[in-house]
Structure formats: structure tokens, C-alpha cells
Structure 1
């Protein structure tokens, strides 16, 4: 008889939250693996993997030892000098140590250490059956899951993310007896809620995936996603285009279905005159549909929905998908037409009534601060040889927040910037201004491009710098893992824009100015009138002058964001530190210095020259 067996654990539930399912599944598998390791139970770790569907969490692994190894324990007692008296008889300390372990003094052993001799108690406990330990391991893994809001169900005392209905624990072809969340284990799973509502008998872990597939459940998320990709791509191609498979949408849809079936749908072509970003947002964010594009990247009237059932009448599902999207598109068309009747600039006055931050004033107050900073940035870029036009920068800043008050952005907040560009273009604003209204938000996410035009770059830098300076000035700095205003992302976006656009700017001087504007705004909001802000000067030797403490802290905060940025490019932390200690006022200068150090570090002579330089430095001290 083999001393190992394959393992299957499945917990059946009500539909799990799709956006949390991947994390829950991975954490459950990791918890089971950790529990086995903690108890010294051997298994094929490479085979351990998480399986899941909207109605289940499962773990599958091979070659699990059926018996836990012997548990050897060693407990150290008193040192020899304290354990025996002058006559060599046990002292109270030694007798107490023996009694605490439930043995006689004769059962203790001596241990020689580098600190001298002491008495020890050694014991060997036979290993427990893995089957006896598994229910506890599973309970511990479930209790450790990242569940922000667990729930009760029925009249049970248990808490979990969703009500649990069945439990399968198989070790080889044997059911492991146990109770988890009030459920007794057996070998019966459940198939698709509609296609196969009957229990599904699982003979052994090896047949689990196939048994559920026969019951029209794809429990392997990789297989399920592959089917969605294949079917969506095929239907898009059949309709003369290609689908955009947004990774986040794909992951969410994958966690909404157990038996995915793609359905090709269409909408009225008249809706295509609405900005495609609004239609795409409706399809992807609201309805979880995949839009179809033509060869030139233009949105078509086709889209693909994913059903969780193989219907005998797919036309009914298609009609339902088309019916549910029509009123949302009609709303978007109404908002778009209504917004076009009002110039963007007409919203400026209303921005005074929109609070940006209680201590920093209205959104229009923020626009005013950004305008001052953007003009400074533009002038310094001109001094460095840029042909940037300051009137265009001023116009872009003045319109930068106006789209927040449009009906379209009110309905689809994620379209801020996009609609600003769209409306500005339609209303005859210069192309550089229109583009800046969208691009100044970049980079919106990790890996996103920076603003491409000089006007957009000046606005992006000023906007991000005002956001950082304002929140630092009123004490709303990130703390530990908490960053409610995404200031780390904002700081990295600012630094990336300066470096990747090759802009020669004195960041320290810009921070000083931004902090000053922010503190003046905070004083006005607090006292109701303008007075000089209270600055706390602190000497900063690298720059040869005193700066406000918040300004120094903000500079360090921005610089620290670059550590990970360069690490992703393969530049080691020690090289980063070698340049960071100099605190260059220009981020472009910082980047050039770092890349020069990197180029030097790969030379064959680098180590010898660095060592010689260090010796010379030590001699001259």
C-alpha cells in the first residue's frame, strides 16, 4: 500500500464575489499549503494549485504523505551549576523542570553547549494521521482568508464570505471525515446550477476536473478563460472585426460564469456618433460585454456577451443583452447632445461651488493654483529652449476641470479628461489645448504613457505638484500602507513625466512655490482672509539653503518613488542610493547621473577604481 495519496478539497458556496474570487482562491490554496508545511507533512508542492468557479473554492495536490513524521521536541532546563548541589543531588530547579515535563530526573539528558552544560528533556511523539489533521488545516486556511465583510446564514454561528453548502475532502479514493463551517465532508460535489443540478460523485482527486466538466462546470479558471477568449475572438472575427479583451473585464467575466457561452449581439449604428469611450465604458463597466472594433480601431455596432448557460434559444439571450444596453446608450447620446450645447468655459463659475478639499478650497481655487504653477513650468521650459506657448497652457488650465460638471462625466466619472478633450475639439479649441485636457491625467495606471504634448506636460506637472503640495501642507501625507489619495501614484507620475519627456526643471524650486501656494490657500480657508503662511524652515545642505520642512519631505517622497521605477529597469538599489544621497534638484539630472553610474558599474575596471577612490577618501579625512 502506498504511503502517499492525492488530495482534493472543495468547498461549495453561493455565488462568490467575482472581483475577489481570484484572491480568495489563491489565499485558500496558500493556507492549505502553509498548514501542511507547518505540520511537516510532505507533498508535491509543484502540483498544488487552486481551482475555482463562482460557486466553489478547491485545492488539488499530489503525493500527500498519509502520516505526519515523528515530532521530535527538545526542551532545555537549568544549567548544570544550578541543577545539582555540592553533593551532586538534584536541586529544586532540576526537580521542578522534570516535574513540568512529567518525567523523573533520570529521564533527563545532559547537553553540552558553548555556554556550558545544561539538562534537557527530549521526547518523540508519533506523527498523526494526515486525515486527522486535514479538517483543522482547512478551517485555519478559511479563517485566514481576506474577507472584509463576512456574513452569517441560516441559524448557524459560522461566518464566511457567502453561505457554504457542501464539502468534499478526498485523500486518494477515501473520504476524509471532518466538519468545516457546519458541513460534513463527503465525495459529492455539485454541477451547473441549471444544466446539472444533481450531485456529482467524485471518485478520486484525479477525476475531479473531468467529472465537473461532464456536469458542465469548468472548474479550472485557466481553461474557462481560454474558452471565453476563443469564443469571443471567433464571434468578433465573424462580424468583421476584433474584440478588445480588457484583462480586468476578462478576469471578472471569468469569475461570473461556470459554463461560458459567447453570444454575438448588435446595437443601432446611430449610437456610433456618441464618443466611443462612453459606449465602451457602458459595455465593459456596466454590462460586462466585449466591444468589437474594425481593422482601424474604430468601434463597430457589434459586441459579445458571455452567458452562463447553453440556451436552447440563444436568440432570447441575445435580445435580452441588446435590450438592456439600448437605454444606457440612449442616455449617453442624450447627455452628449445636451453637453455640446454648453461651452466648456461656461462651467468655470460653477467650479467655485464644488469643494476640492475643505482646507484647500474649491475646485476653482485649485485651478488658480495650478495656473500659477503651470505658467512657471512653461517659462522654465521656454528658458531651456522649448517652443511651448504660454497662452495655450493658460487656456488648457482654465478648462481642465470644466468637464467634471458635464452630464456625461456626471454619469460616467471615469470619462473625465476624455470628455474634456472631446468637447473642446467639438467647440473649436486649439488641438494642443484639447489634447491636454485628456493627457494631463496621464499616467492613469502602471505602465500607462505620459502626456505627449508640451502643453499637456506642463499642465500634468503643475496639476500633480499642486495635489501633492496641498495634501502635504495640510498634513494628509501617506502613512504606512495607507494612501487614500493615491499620492504615491501621483508622485511617480510627476517624476516619470519630467524624466521621460526630458524636461530640465528645478524640482526643488517648483516644490517651494507649490507648498507656498498651498499653505496660503489653507490659511485663507481657516481664517477667511489672506495672510502670510507659517513656514517651518529647515537647513538642507545639498541645496545650500533652508527650505520649508514640508517641501523637503515632499522632495524626498517624490525621489523615493523612483526607487521602484528604476528597480523595474534592472538598476540596483545601491546605484540608486549613490545618486540619491546627492539630492539633485533636477530629476533629469538625477536620471543622467544614475545612468552614468550604471554605465561605469559594468566596466571591468569599475571595482578597482571604486576601491582606490575609497582608499584615497579615507586617507584625506
Structure 2
């Protein structure tokens, strides 16, 4: 079979940078899928999507020049329908043969479970790959994720951007075809400024090298490596180290065809502004790379990437420095004005900012978080007064000019303002740490005070979201409750914050319910006031009357809501652990026993993971599953009293003694949460458990003996399941 390199290049106007790599991958996958579906052999080698801002390309080192022979098999009527009593063809068989274009005597026969039937088999030569490629490309384009295709000219088709050229080569030959109104050719395009003329592609295998000679790096990996090298070299020359954010690197990679670094600087006076604001401006708005000094602090240097090798770098540098100055000046002004205002004044302004219609203002939320933080603090050795202070200042910067301009600096700005006001360092840091983890994979708050604040903040957000009816549905999660649930769980577990989550969830739910009732009562009172002003009589029950009527019902509702949120957090946690590769059976085993804290979850997971490696694990898991099934069938209350004098079998007595010893050995271990040691000790019960089930019948006629055996099994099962429901490990 003849193989030739294949090149497809779709030349366009500048493609959307954030979608560029995804579009290139989809185009690449679509072409490969089209070849595969048509049975066209190809050698992928190390091929990958190739792209620049103005082109999407697929280059494969080897593609078969034609399909293999195409065989087809069409099933016809069964013999009892196809032939009459004299063995002559019926109209059904004649029609089938005519459709196949052959005499009925040329048809073959085959059999299945219903009997023998006629079949038409044919073989035809495979089509030439060149004839199929335009169709393959059009299919690949149609399948690309382009939410709003553009249309140009008077065409009825669309694409992400208007298409201007098409290179389609199989080996050295141009493949005749048309895609999106453009005829295939071998002429690509070079760099818009440094090589503004057509580029002859002699052979598909020479594509990358030909474009490199035209000042276009079409391989995104090569382009990315050049950007990193250029940036790092320029930063080192200026005496610092470049901060290269992966996201910004990808955007710059999607904006350039021939990247070239330009070292720039700004006025040192701007360094008085929080460096996070300056970095945010450089990265998000201008796609520049900040330069850090030896201590990891922002210096007055930065690196811009031009899409051209300029003959006058000074002019490019001047332009980059000029465009960044006004944004830095704005940040400097905002920061200076905010410091004049002060955190206390900002916090006071939160009383006029609505947090959520049913939940009151941001100041109301801060008050609830302060109560929670103060209650959680002593559980982890943090000063409650310090926790309250940090909570009361935690949202003040939302009223700052700096955060209004840079929303991503929430908490960061507060930390700076607290430091300027000489607040305690722990308090200033906690204001920032309360937002951690900010994204998937981010670290949790490093300090205990920061962890307390992060937990309290998320408890209130979850309780508020559920109370306001904002539970996530499908892809909709307006309060980011999924992220908050996982952030809460990770902070508790990774931080070793050993608190009762259920208790503080109920506390958060109750605080939110009070807020909801307060908002509702204020609205009712306002309506009543308007009614009285119009001469109408309105009867509103007093607070005492409302409490007396609904307190019991209210508590039931709040308990259910707290349990619902706990289950929601558990589901997020299970998904998180599954993503880390933890066995789903082990997760279910731990969560079924209802650990009293999330730190306890971590300890139990570690223990059952170690237990699952033991040779006794499978047998004991199966035994506990069997025991649970036996106990489920018992009508009425399960017996719990064990009388050793009623043991009638040696295996029964041996198990009773072994269970007594195991319980005595593991009581203190359970108290100290040494779950690994507990399960290790229980694993030694396997011989007695196996012997019991081999030699002892549980449901005997003698009720006293039966109940005694059931009580023994219950005690054994309770202890086997004291760390996790190990029966889930049984296949």
C-alpha cells in the first residue's frame, strides 16, 4: 500500500485566542476520525495539531493513497420466502436480485438462528484518498465547537473567522477540492509583516520548515518554547526572574507567529501599590510577563512579547511602557484614596450593599461569619476575639476603589489596608487567607486563624445558598456552592481542623434562618406601616407568638437543611477523592459509618486503604456482608445479651473468646482514632470467623441458642464496622 505525507492548512483571519488550541485539536481529531471511518490507513507518528493565529493545520507523516477494497454484504429473504414449492424464485427473491443488479442464481446463501437465507456479496475497489479528502475536511469543520460561526460575502456557510486560503497536499501533489469556497493550492502565507508574500510548499513533509523560513513557527510547542526562552533570557539580563503564568503563556502563544521579547520598565514609585494589582494589570490586560527580584518581589521590570523582530526595539518598548502607565496610575490613585478612607469606614459601607435579596446585606453576612468564627476558634486553639476581629474586617475591602477596579484582589487588598493600619499581622493575613483555596488545586489557608475564617465564610455561604433556594442544578451554580463545599472540606481535612461539621452546619443554618426571618419581618412591617398610613387595620403576630407556634417545626426544618448540606459536601468530597484515584468502595465504606468530623474521614480512609491490602480483607468483608444480611432478616429488636454458657459448639466458643479479646484490644485504639491498628487487630479474627460459618448454624430451632448467636454476630459486626462498613470491599 502506497503511503504519502498529508498536509491540510486552513488559512484564516485572526482566530479567537482563547479558543485557538481547542479549535486546532478539534480539527485534527476530526480529520483523523474521517480517515479512520473510511478505512484509510495512516501513520500518525508524533503528529499533533499545528496552528498560529491565522491558520489551523494537520500534517501526518503517512496516509494511504487509497482505501482498501470495499466489501459489502446485503442480506436477502429466507429460503421459505424466496423460493416457492417448486424451487422457483418468488417475487421477493426476484426483486432482491434486481436491486442487487445480478441474476438470482448468482446470489450466495448464509444461515443464522432463523434459518437459511440469500445474501448478495460484492467487492469493489477502494476510492482514492484524494477524492475523499474534501469531504473529510468539511465533516471535520462541521463538527468543530464554534458557537457563533461568522459569515462573509454572500456565502451561506460560516466558520470561526473568514477563510482565505487552503493548502491541501498528499505528498507533492495538490489534492483537487474546495472547502468553504476556497480551492486547494500549495501556496501558504508567511508572516504578515516580515514575509508578506505567498510561501511555496513543495512537499507536505517540508511544511514546518518552509514556514519557519517565512518567519512563521507553526508548531505551538516550538513557539511556546521560544517565548519561554526569550522571556527568561530578557529577565535574566535585567537582573531578575520572569513570572510566567501558564494561562498568559498560552494566550501569548496564540497571539504570535514569530515571538520576540522586549525588555521594559516602569516608574519605581508604582511599586508602592500592591504588587498583585500591578501584576494583574500586566498579565490580564496587556499579556506582559512581570520580572521578580531575588526575594520574589515585583521589580520595576517587565517583558513584552512582540509578534515581530523589530529593527527599532526602542519604539516598541516605548509603546509598551506608554500603554501600561495610565493603568498603573489608576491603581496608585485607588490605593491612595482607599488608605485615606480606612477599613472601618469601608466596613460601615457594607450596610448599604445587598448580599442577596433573602439574606440581607453584606454587613449582615459579615456579622454571621463573625459569630461562627468566634465559635470555631477555641476548638482549634485560636483566640476567639482575634477571630471575630478578622471576620469583621474580612469583607471591608469590597467597598474599596481598588477591588472595584480589580475584583480578583478581594482579600489581597484588605490585607494591605490592614497592614497599613497596623492591625495584627495574623488578622491582616487572615483577611486574605479567608478566600483560599481560590481555585481547584490552590493551597488552603496556611494559618489557623485563616482556616477558621475560611471555614466560617464557607459555612455561611452554603447555608445561605440553600436557604435562598440557590442549590446547584446542572451547570448552574450562581453562588459557587460546589466550589465552596469542596473548599470547606479541604480546609478542614488538610488543615487538620478537628471540629464537628454537623454541629457548625446547624449553627450556620440557624443564623441564616434568623436573617431570612428578619428580612421577611422587616418587609411585613413595612407593608403594615403603609397599610396603617392608609387607614387600614393590620394584625401582625408578635415575635413570641411566632416562636411559640413554629419553633418545633422550625428546628425540624433546620436539621433537615443542615443534613442536606452535609450530604452535599460529602458528595463533593467523594467526587474529589475519586478524582485522586481513591477506590469508590472504600469511600462508600467510610461515609456510611457517618464520621463525626472530616478529619476523621481522612484517618478512616487511610486505615481502610491499608486494610484492603491485607490478605484477610476480602474474606472478612464478605463475612460482614453475610452477617449484615442475616441480621436484617431478624424480626423485631435484635438481641444484644451474650451468655457464654449457651455456646454449644467449639467454633462458636472460639469466636466468642476471639471477639471478646479483639474488643478489649481495640477499645482504647478506637478512642484514640488509631484506625489502622484497629483494622489490623480485627484482621486476626479471620480464622475464627471462617470456622464459625463452616461449622455453626445460626438459625436453629432453640430460640435461646439462636438469639445468643445473633447477639454474638451483632457484636462482631459492630466491631468490624467500627472504622468503616468493610462489607463494601466485598466484590
Residue 558 of structure 1 pairs with residue 577 of structure 2 = no
Matched, 1:496 2:481: no
The answer to whether the Cα contact below 8 Å between 1:150 and 1:161 also exists between their aligned partners in 2 is: yes
1:41-73 CA distances to partner (integer Å, 9 max, x unpaired)? Answer: 111133431101111111111221111223333
Give the 5 Å matches for 1:445-484.
Answer: 445-484=439-478
Q: Secondary structure at the match of 1:135?
A: helix
State the structure with more CA Rg. Answer: 2
Residue 493 of structure 1 and its aligned partner are, at CA, apart by 0.8
Question: Which residue among 420, 426, 434 is the counterpart of 1:440?
Answer: 434
2:612 to 592, 597, 601: 601
The alpha carbon displacement at 1:605 in A equals 3.4
Partner secondary structure for residue 123 of structure 2: strand
SS of the aligned residue for 1:336 comes to helix
> 1:26, CA displacement in angstroms?
1.1
Return 82-91 or 24-33, whichever deviates more: 82-91
Superposition pairs of residues 9-20 of structure 1, within 5 angstroms: 9-20=8-19
Kept after mapping to 1: 8 A contact 2:414/2:432: yes
Is 1:584 paired with 2:595? Answer: yes
For 1:521 and 1:121, locate their aligned partners in 2 and report how far apart those are by CA, in whole Å. 77
For 1:108 and 1:140, the matched residues in 2 are separated by 36
Q: Which residue of 1 aligns with 2:133?
A: 134
Distance 2:552 2:92 in 1: 61
Q: Tell me if the contact between 2:61 and 2:205 (Cα under 8 Å) persists in the aligned partners.
A: no
Deviation sequence 1:81-137 (CA, Å, 0-9, x none)? 565666666666666666665666545544333454454444434322111111111
Determine the C-alpha separation between the residues in 2 that align with 1:549 and 1:124. 68
Instruction: Report the Cα offset of residue 352 of structure 1.
Output: 2.6
> What secondary structure sits across from 1:292 in the alignment?
strand
Q: State the distance in 2 between where 1:537 and 1:208 align.
A: 74
**Distance in 1 between the 2:145 and 2:60 partners?**
22
For 1:333-412, list aligned pairs within 5 A: 333-379=332-378, 381=379, 386-412=380-406
Q: Contact 2:68/2:125 (CA < 8 Å) preserved in 1?
A: yes
- Residue of structure 2 in register with 1:197 after alignment: 196
Q: More displaced, 290-299 or 478-487?
A: 478-487
Q: Greater shift after overlay, 109-118 or 16-25?
A: 109-118
8 A Cα contact 1:537 1:548, kept in partner? no
What's the CA shift for 1:537? 8.8
CA apart distance, 1:268: 1.2
Please give the alpha-carbon distance, in whole angstroms, between the structure 1 residues aligned to 2:451 and 2:336. 30
State the distance in 1 between where 2:186 and 2:366 align: 64
| Native 8 Å contact 2:6 2:170 kept in 1 | yes
The alpha carbon displacement at 1:181 in A equals 1.2
Cα 1:141–1:585 shift into 2, 3 Å: farther
Conserved? CA contact 1:536–1:549, under 8 Å: no
Q: Secondary structure at the match of 1:442?
A: coil
Contact 2:470 2:477 in 1 (8 A): no
Q: Which has the higher strand share?
A: 1
SS in 1 for 2:60: strand
CA distance in 2, matches of 1:559, 1:512: 16
Name the counterpart of 2:412: 418
Asked if the contact 1:461–1:497 (Cα under 8 Å) also holds between the matched residues in 2, the reply is yes
Considering fraction of residues, name the structure with more helix: 2
Mark the CA change 1:551 to 1:130 in structure 2 (over 3 Å): closer, same or farther. Answer: farther
8 Å CA contact 2:244, 2:289 repeated in 1: yes
Q: How does 1:118-157 map to 2 (within 5 A)?
A: 118-157=117-156
- Distance verdict in 2 for CA 1:76–1:548, change over 3 Å: farther
The CA distance in 1 between the partners of 2:125 and 2:561, in whole Å, is 62
The 5 A counterparts of 1:12-161 are 12-77=11-76, 105-106=104-105, 108-161=107-160
Residue aligning to 1:542: none
Aligned 8 A contact 2:375 2:384 in 1: no
Deviation at 1:351, TM superposition (A): 1.6
1:307 equivalent in alignment to 2:306: yes
Q: Please, what TM-score do these two structures have when normalized by structure 2?
A: 0.78
- Could you tell me how far apart the structure 1 residues matched to 2:127 and 2:439 are? 50
CA distance in 2 between partners of 1:40 and 1:498 (Å) = 54
> Structure 1 pair 41/458, CA: closer, same or farther in 2 (3 Å)?
same
Aligned residue for 1:256?
Answer: 255
Q: Distance in 2 between matches of 1:475 and 1:449?
A: 30
User: How many pairs are equivalent?
Assistant: 610
Distance 1:177 1:162 in 2: 23
Further displaced range: 581-590 or 161-170: 581-590
Change (3 A) 1:440 1:139: same
Partner Cα distance (1:437, 1:343) in 2: 15
C-alpha distance in 1 between matches for 2:354 and 2:85: 83
Describe the shift of the 1:331–1:607 C-alpha distance in structure 2 as closer, same or farther (beyond 3 A): same
Q: CA deviation at 1:440?
A: 0.8
Deviation at 1:307, TM superposition (A): 0.5
| Contact 1:355–1:362 (CA under 8 A) maintained in structure 2 | yes
- Distance in 2, matches of 1:487 and 1:18, equals 30
Query: 2:360, 2:21 → 1: CA distance?
Result: 41
Structure 1 position 258, deviation (Å): 0.7
2:641 maps to what in 1? none
- 1:326 aligns with 325
* Cα pair 2:509 2:558 within 8 Å, conserved: no
**Residues 343 and 417 of structure 2 are in contact (CA less than 8 Å); yes or no, is this contact kept in structure 1?**
yes
Q: What is the DSSP-based 3-state SS (H/G/I as helix, E as strand, rest coil) of the residue aligned with 1:348?
A: helix
- Contact 1:291 / 1:302 at 8 angstroms: preserved in 2? yes
Distance in 2, Cα, partners of 1:84 & 1:521: 84
Segments of 5+ residues of structure 1 without an aligned counterpart are 540-544
Moved more, 482-491 or 181-190: 482-491
1:572-599, CA deviations, whole angstroms, 9 ceiling, x for partnerless residues? Answer: 2222122223333421122111111001
Residues 465-518 of structure 1: CA deviation (Å, up to 9, x unaligned)? 222222233332223344444332221111100101111222223333333444
Provide the rounded CA distance (Å) in 2 between the counterparts of 1:453 and 1:431.
11
Alpha carbons 1:47, 1:60 under 8 Å: kept: no
In the TM superposition, residue 571 of structure 1 has moved relative to its aligned partner by 2.0
Identify which range, 428-437 or 601-610, moves more after superposition: 601-610
Q: TM-score normalized by structure 1?
A: 0.91
SS in 2 for 1:305: strand
RMSD (Å) for aligned C-alpha atoms: 2.8
Tell me how far apart the structure 2 counterparts of residues 370 and 219 of structure 1 sit (CA, whole Å).
Answer: 53
Alignment partner of 1:515 is 2:514: no
Once structures 1 and 2 are overlaid, which stretch shifts more, 338-347 or 504-513? 504-513
- The 8 Å contact of residues 289 and 303 in structure 1, kept in 2 or not, is answered as yes
Q: Any idea what the Cα deviations from partners look like across 1:152-192, whole Å, max 9, x if unmatched? A: 22332221111111111111111111111111110000000
Aligned equivalents of 1:101 and 1:149: distance in 2?
Answer: 45
Relative to structure 1, the CA distance from residue 78 to residue 442 in structure 2 (aligned partners, 3 Å threshold; closer, same or farther) is farther
The match for 1:269 is 268
Report the alpha carbon displacement of residue 566 of structure 1 after superposing the two structures with TM. Answer: 2.3
**SS of 2:301 mapped into structure 1:** strand
**How do residues 228-239 of structure 1 correspond to structure 2 at under 5 angstroms?**
228-239=227-238
* Alignment partner, residue 584 of structure 2: 573
Query: In structure 2, how many angstroms separate the alpha carbons of the residues matched to 1:132 and 1:498?
Result: 62
Query: Equivalent residue for 1:165?
Result: 164
